[in-house]
Amino acid sequence: MWPELGNFALILALCLAGLQAIIPLVGAQLGHDRLMHAGRSLAMGQLVFLALAYAALTLAFLGNDFSVAYVAQNSNETLPVVYKFTAVWGGHEGSLLLWVFLLACWTVAVAVFSKSLPKEVLARVLAVLGMVGVGFMAFTILTSNPFDRLIPAPPDGSDLNPLLQDPGMIIHPPLLYMGYVGMAVVFAFAIAALIGGRLDAAWARWSRPWTTVAWAFLTLGIGLGSWWAYYELGWGGWWFWDPVENASFLPWLTATALLHSLAVSEKRGGFKVWTLMLAILTFALTILGAFLVRSGVITSVHAFATDPDRGTFILGMLAVTLVGSLSLYAWRAPKVGLGGGFGWFSRESLLLGNNVLLVVACAAVFIGTIYPMALDALNLGKISVGPPYFDAVFMPLMLPLLFLVGVAPSLPWKQGDPMQAVYRLRWPFAIAVVLGAAWPLTVGAWNPLTALALMLVAWILITTGVDIVRRLGRRQGLGARLRGLRPSFLGMHMAHAGLALVAMAIAMVNTYEDERDVRLEAGETATVGGYDFTLLDVDRIRGPNYDATQAEVRVTRDGKMVDTLYPQLRHYDSQPEMPMQQAALNRGLTRDIYVSMGQHVGGGAWTMRLYYKPYMFWMWIGGLLMAFGGFLAAADRRYRLARDRSAVSEQQVRADQPRDFQEAQG
Amino acid sequence: MKRRNKRLGIVVSALAGLGIATALVLNAFQDALVFFITPSEVMAKTEMPERNFRIGGLVEEGSVIRDPQSTEVTFRVTDTAESVTVVFDGILPDLFREGQGVVAEGRIGPDHVFRAYNVMARHDENYMPAEAQEAIERAGHPGDAAGGY
């Protein structure tokens, strides 16, 4: 009964989305108020029905209703209750339902928080979001309905993929989808601007917080996925350049470029056409990501089961998106205009550098991801493009980017003085060079590339600190000084510092990590990275729905006890043929110690994988800082104020920046 | 900067970006592309490629030998027509089994022994790695697929 209700609610939501895609748009073209206002109610209705559908599927999981095919495939009687909630998005069909549900949430959020948007703009934004909703809901209902029945019902379901039975996995997909779906909002703003033919500073102010929040969610989602891969897969790696990882990384790169391009659009009225292009590209890349993950063209940990219809449908959706939005772009972009000019050494020019580097990096990753698939699809042979390719193209692009991060934030808009900048930054530069050169010596043998990376890390951290202090110093009294720090300013620096920490961790881990696969019998010791690992014992234990072999490994350093670690090899009842590793970690500020079990190799001997990973901890801290920097920046009061006086946008902006802006127009 | 100069600047920086990207990609492709060869194709060659490549197929029944003192493992990968001896030092994937699909990445020595630095099995008990499947198909219908590297 519930599944049918859910199905019905889903179909109703699709119908409402269809109306939402048309009515407000027509209203905006005709200048008809009531039609435009319909968008908001339709979005609310959509959210209600999707929430109902989502609840129905959750109830099916909680009630062990194995007559629902999706439940039978992803759950069973013994699955712990918390995982029954999360299993709703553990497979392809349910995760799509979560996707459209989150899209409805974002749509309603836009409708509620953008009351002060001009009504035509809001109507167009909601209409575009309605179109996106139609696409994804039609995809769900036609090719991947989570409510499909399985008659006769099996007595028990199979199981949620054991890899997904993990706390990190509970929140990874929702965060990632929040990011993806948020990019649809940004796309909708861009299309609305194209339809209206107006892109001014006010537009950039409305879209900026949405973009920033979506980007922050995407950052969190990717970071969490990486963290999960690190401890759950038992391979000790945190990024594999796997096509599915790239699928989320590609839109992240263009979204990062978009954030910076939007800053120019807001502050200086520049990069307008380019900003729109980035918004379209970013959304298209999220659809491409859906294609990579859901069509079955690739086989990986993440990939869902294969069904050619799905791939065809998503490719169709991608084609419609690209053809539609790029035609609109070609037709309307000239009307939007280029925006203000700037000197060769200015914040704009460096942000342009940022954009070029990020987009080029995205293109390089795109080629490495798509090329093998294209060859395979055309039957031209099988090749694979592995981490060496990505490292070789990515690093040379990221090093100059890191350098720019240290310069651009303190540079004036429009025209900077290179000599003054050199003078102002000479001490930070000198200190960064010394620190970066000395830092590797504290960990191991000196390596020029690592030293260069660490110099850039120190460079960002120092210039960030200097810039914050400079901003503080202008006012009297500590309270006034702190108030002088706007959230958007602090958020930017927080995200930059986070990036620096991630870069630091990558440089350290890649250069100084120590990994050994060893064969140990009880009582034997192996040494990795200065730590002694002694295998004490191997036991069999029983978990809620699995049997595990658990090793007891004592870790000491110079005879002093560090920790006792218990890595496991789990055999889930549902998939006894498919053992899962559960690595054991001892985390520290300057190093992680990591043990995972291999195989039983006869007698009392086991193979074990031992790692020493310096500064790994900072990778996650850096990722969190980046995301929270984004949230902080989006919370800036300026965006709310901007909305209040949105109607006067263009004039207001000119009044704000009287001289610069008008010169720029001339 | 005048508008025309600015447009020129944007075009130039876009072209520069494109140029850098192309150079980097081509340079990296040269070294990092890993081609795929089936055991039959390996055995048919007289000269062995001086670079890393992938082979795929089934782990031959009864061919897995573990060194009792170290983590070194020797096994044979077959496409049902020919087989190649593979030596790997390290921990094999959890789903590595005799008679099951496997893909190994590494290079082959003059002694026709494939030294793998990476061995992959499918993540799921039900499926074969795509490349293992392909190797067996190519062995079954020689000449059908465009092989080689």
> Is A598 a member of any domain?
yes
Strand A584-587: give its sheet, edge to edge. Answer: A514-521, A605-614, A591-600, A584-587
More confident residue, B146 or A559: A559
Share of chain B above pLDDT 70, in %: 83
> Is A474 a member of any domain?
no
- Mean pLDDT throughout A176-192? 95
Residues A211 and A324 in one domain: yes
- For A207-244, what is each residue's pLDDT tens digit? 999 999 999 999 999 999 999 888 877 677 888 888 88
Instruction: Quote the CA–CA distance of A215 and A350 in Å, as a whole number.
Output: 21
- Mean pLDDT throughout A13-30? 95
Confidence of residue A203 (pLDDT cuts 50, 70, 90): confident
Q: How many residues does chain B have?
A: 149
> Is A645 a member of any domain?
no
Residues A400 and A537 in one domain: no
As a whole number, the mean pLDDT across chain A is: 87
* Residue A594: exposure state from Cβ atoms within 10 A (0-12, 13-18, ≥19): buried
> Is A529 a member of any domain?
yes
- Mean pLDDT throughout A122-132? 95
- Mean pLDDT throughout A452-476? 89
Candidates B116, B24, B103; CA nearest to B58 is B103
- For A307-337, what is each residue's pLDDT tens digit? 678 888 888 999 999 999 999 999 988 888 7
> pTM for the complete prediction?
0.90
**Is A646 a residue whose pLDDT tops 60?**
no
The whole-number pLDDT of residue A202 equals 83
Interface test with B, best of A346, A360, A609 (most B CBs within 10 A): A360
Residues A116 and A5 in one domain: yes
Instruction: Quote the CA–CA distance of A18 and A135 in Å, as a whole number.
Output: 9
**Is A588 a residue whose pLDDT tops 60?**
yes
The whole-number pLDDT of residue A307 equals 67
Interface test with B, best of A375, A376, A382 (most B CBs within 10 A): A382
- The reply to whether residue A601 touches residue B36, judged by beta carbons under 8 angstroms, is no
The whole-number pLDDT of residue A53 equals 97
Residues A37 and A57 in one domain: yes
Of A132, A165, A198, the position where a domain reaches its end is A165
* Residue A166: exposure state from Cβ atoms within 10 A (0-12, 13-18, ≥19): middle
A607 vs B: CB within 8 A? yes
- The reply to whether residue A383 touches residue B36, judged by beta carbons under 8 angstroms, is yes
**Is A653 a residue whose pLDDT tops 50?**
no
Residues A211 and A160 in one domain: no
- For A385-443, what is each residue's pLDDT tens digit? 888 899 888 898 999 999 999 999 988 888 888 888 999 899 999 999 999 999 999 88
DSSP-derived letter for residue A562 is E
Would you identify the CATH topology of the domain B35-140? Answer: OB fold (Dihydrolipoamide Acetyltransferase, E2P) (2.40.50)
Task: Please state the domain count of chain A.
Answer: 3
- Mean pLDDT throughout A536-542? 91
Give me the DSSP letters along A302-317: SPPPP-HHHHHHHHHH
Contacts with B89 from chain A: Cβ below 8 Å: 517
Residue ranges per domain, chain B? Answer: 1-33, 35-140
The whole-number pLDDT of residue B127 equals 55
Residues A86 and A203 in one domain: no
Residues A121 and A213 in one domain: no
Three-state SS for A539? strand
The whole-number pLDDT of residue B2 equals 55
The whole-number pLDDT of residue A661 equals 34
> Is A508 a member of any domain?
no
A150 vs B: CB within 8 A? no
A337 vs B: CB within 8 A? no
Contacts of A84 (CB under 8 A, 6+ apart): A61, A62, A75
Confidence of residue A651 (pLDDT cuts 50, 70, 90): very low
Least CA distance to A306: which residue of chain B? B127
Residues A200 and A122 in one domain: no
Of A573, A591, A617, the position where a domain reaches its end is A617
Give me the DSSP letters along B100-135: SEEEEEEEE-TTSEEEEEEEE--SSTT---HHHHHH
Q: Which domain holds residue A550?
A: 515-617
More confident residue, A259 or A312: A259
Site of tokens 């339809």: A195
Least CA distance to B22: which residue of chain A? A364
Least CA distance to A375: which residue of chain B? B146
